[in-house]
Structure 1
């Protein structure tokens, strides 16, 4: 089992859309038994896959070890793809983690899914925090969506610095240009600084995910965005094998 964190210090970079489409590609194109773990209290990934947390569910309590995580998992409409949904209790998670000395608990919880899944995609909340630090300890790979703009690039640089301070046990990093608009000179010039990074185009198909509440490949399989996410998943798999 391998775990992939979709993470950004900055919000509004297409992180949840990336997580949902990568999870769908892993389950369908890749044929992997896939779990999408929504750790963002906004629950965008959960909503996009047309799921809601079970009434009374508290993901925060499960992360603290008070409930069994597997019991919170829901099936989706797609073969091989399950989701561990977010709920409002995650808003208070940081306070729990700050008082906890179980720094490796998240890593142990991920390992509890080893027999059930081949790939776990984690939709992480934005920002450097105690939860982010635990994710860095637990994940095998970080996918970093980055808009071709100075602020987003600055946030990406901050993350690289943070990971470098952690030493050799930090996960590998796969930066991804996100929401690339080739009509904009700034975007073209910025993308040219790292032409080897995968790029997801700015697309109405991605925006339409909120209308269809489905991955792009489900309703526009031949669109540039769907092809870009499929290509990104191939690069994620290659990075994991390395």
Structure 2
């Protein structure tokens, strides 16, 4: 546990944690509180949009350019445990990202319920929403980590945000209801897709770290 905390802190400063880990979620939840008074479950898509944008932008301050040929992980190449530290940092970030979505969507769902809009039908829907958001967020950061320029982040991340909002809006804002069997199929599909993307992300991190050595050699030659 101590090594996991050290690895996490190596990639995250106190300002990153306070700004994106605390302040941004609080603002998002407050916005959700006011929006949900009028839009009820439709507010989930808006809340998720804000959260996903904040999460992807947060990635810039920790892992920008991590997969590029000019990676800032040069110091790890000289360590025996460099690759393990790098991959652990990447996977811990994915785990933190998943927990972040669970907490934000969970708290916002409680707010919606207390606003006298409780509907048990949306409990499995919110599980699917979290899995979709996590999966698309993971795909997005695996692409943007090839770039170290902040202005490129919104350009590349926007399609991923849109691809997330479309199914979320379909599930929450349009008033369409599915039977238990279809909800189960959707949830299973979202879970399997999330697991597959997580595994691919792990393999991608390993490949990118190994490839960084080849990039160094090619530049020297």
When normalised by structure 1's length, the TM-score is 0.28
Q: Over alpha carbons, which structure has the higher Rg? A: 2
When normalised by structure 2's length, the TM-score is 0.30
Q: Which has the higher strand share?
A: 1
